[in-house]
Amino acid sequence: MSQLPIAYVDIRFCAHATEDVDNVVMAVHNILPSDKLEDITFNRSCVEGHYGNPITFFETRIKDKETVRALVENLSVNLSSLDKEELGRTINRCVEKGSIYIRLDKQAALQGKIQFVTSDPIRIRIRFKKSKIEDVTEICREIGMLT
């Protein structure tokens, strides 16, 4: 696919008081294409949790076409066939208004692995230039995110 029909990718994650912020950032860096790390800058904000515990939020929007392509290819290559099958089965719940929402495991990412998780994730939103779920599904299949 020469022209990637993706508008942008959002990445959001947080580090709780019980987590080492540097380790969480390293985990996220492990899912990003290594040759594009210096092109990706995260906004950082600190908030206080319900019980007064500090929570550090990070977020970025990636619009550069080359960086988006490298990130999506990295995800596609490193997702397990089981996760790709799971995404295929649940895609109706993961796609909304032309975006697919993916949640990745921070602990697995710290070990250099990309795998889905439901709680305390690295949140990735891939915004496609098309909004129909059928189109998004087909694009995901073409780029290798689905089996």
User: Domains in the chain, please, with CATH?
Assistant: 6-142 (3.30.1440.10)
Amino acid in position 82: L
Token digits for 96? 């909304």
Confidence label for 14 from pLDDT (cuts 50, 70 and 90): very high
Instruction: Provide the pLDDT for residue 4.
Output: 87
Environment class of 130 (CB within 10 Å of its CB; exposed 0-12, middle 13-18, buried 19+): middle
How do residues 29-47 score in pLDDT, each as one tens digit? 999 999 999 999 999 999 9
Confidence label for 2 from pLDDT (cuts 50, 70 and 90): low
Environment class of 72 (CB within 10 Å of its CB; exposed 0-12, middle 13-18, buried 19+): buried
- DSSP string across the chain: --S--EEEEEEEEEE-TTS-HHHHHHHHHHHS-GGGGGG---EEEEEE-TTS-EEEEEEEEE--HHHHHHHHHHHHHHB-HHHHHHHHHHHHHHEETTEEEEEEEHHHHHTT-B-B-SSSEEEEEEEES---HHHHHHHHHHTTS--
Instruction: Provide the pLDDT for residue 95.
Output: 94
Are residues 121 and 105 in contact, defined by beta-carbon separation less than 8 angstroms? yes
How do residues 77-118 score in pLDDT, each as one tens digit? 999 999 999 999 999 999 999 999 999 999 999 999 999 998
Mean pLDDT estimate for the chain = 94
